[in-house]
Structure 1
Amino acid sequence: MAGFVQIIEFQTSRIEEIEQLGRPSRTEGGTPATFRRIVATADRDRPGTYFTIVDFDSYESAMENSNRPETSEFAAKMAALCDGPLIFRNLDVLWEDTGEGSDNG
């Protein structure tokens, strides 16, 4: 397995507050992060709809992250700023291509 990705879909009219909430490292002064990368996105076709894409080495590291008190606290604060429920997609990565080293011409 090449990894694990969690996508969190949410709707909000308070995106600036969510961005501020997410800016400080949630692991400052604590244990190291279990994720590889987080990408925050806005849906161009549905204003007010956003996705956070979190890349993990494995499902296990994602569950370790989910079980942290600081993650639960962050999720509760984020949910309070949303206009509806958070929708979680839990995806096993089957393969990936970074585009590095490919012969494009």
Structure 2
Amino acid sequence: MTFVQIIDCRTSRFDEMNRLMDRWAEQTRGKRTATHSLLGKDRSDGSHFVEIVEFPSYDEAMRNSHLPETDRLFQEMVALCDGMPTFTDLDVVRDEQMYKAAARRFLELIGTPGELPPLDEVIAEGCHSHDPSDVQDSLGMDAIRRGIGMWRQGFDFAFAVEDQIAEGDRVCTRWTCDATHTGDFMGLQPTGIDVRITGTLIQRFREDGKVVEDWWQYDMLGLMERLGAVEE
């Protein structure tokens, strides 16, 4: 179970504390067990700071705490603080990463049988889509729906999400798509062939959780070979 420690402190010597944290990170490279650290400053009190540190588990957090470098960090940190820092230990019971969820929702929507559902819950009106199957990029909701419609006309398909990585305003999703060629696709009459396509989709989100740009990557040539459109 993921474990999070929240460190709450006050200091008028933030620059010194920041250098202290940089030194600890350098000294514990290859030994520390923390996977993510986030430091925030109180907008209404410039001397109030809160750090959130994530660990794979409570046991891993304890291993990190027992490092000699961590003990020295604590002693030096206390000396820089205006009062004793407070620590809150939390077992994570829910971890919902909204951009990742929106990325999964998008793939779910475009694979929905029947009429293509509205996409405006996940796609911004002016979204810019880069797709290797398009000579020109798709710009705007109407163009994106037309591009998706081309695939839905040619195939019955469903996506499975294999892996996701989120960084800042971007999410990279590694996916598998199982599809049956049931209709006209780029001039190819239906063959009934079952195909499996693998690829990645990188999406850039704006603050409201809607996609403003995306980049698809998949083996278009391999797909056309499988459908008999080109010789292998």
2:109 matched residue in structure 1? none
Length-normalised TM-score, structure 1: 0.89
Counting only pairs closer than 5 Å after superposition, residues 34-73 of structure 1 correspond to structure 2 as 34-73=33-72
Aligned amino acid, residue 32 of structure 2? A
What are the ranges of 5 or more consecutive residues in structure 2 without an aligned counterpart? 106-119, 122-232
2:8 matched residue in structure 1? 9
Deviation at 1:32, TM superposition (A): 2.5
Partner SS for 1:101: helix
Higher strand share: 2
Partner SS for 2:82: coil
1:101 matched residue in structure 2? 101
Deviation at 1:45, TM superposition (A): 2.3
What are the ranges of 5 or more consecutive residues in structure 1 without an aligned counterpart? none
Of all paired residues, the percent bearing the same amino acid is: 36
State the distance in 1 between where 2:90 and 2:28 align.
Answer: 23
Aligned amino acid, residue 22 of structure 1? M
Partner SS for 1:21: helix
State the distance in 1 between where 2:101 and 2:6 align.
Answer: 27
Q: Higher RCO, 1 or 2 (CA under 8 Å, sep at least 6)?
A: 1
Partner SS for 1:71: helix
4+ aligned runs moved over 6 Å, structure 1: none
4-13 or 18-27, which moves further after superposition? Answer: 18-27
Partner SS for 2:44: coil
Deviation at 1:53, TM superposition (A): 0.7
Partner SS for 2:90: strand
Aligned amino acid, residue 13 of structure 1? S
Partner SS for 1:35: coil
1:75 matched residue in structure 2? 74
State the distance in 1 between where 2:13 and 2:38 align.
Answer: 18
Length-normalised TM-score, structure 2: 0.42
Partner SS for 1:7: strand
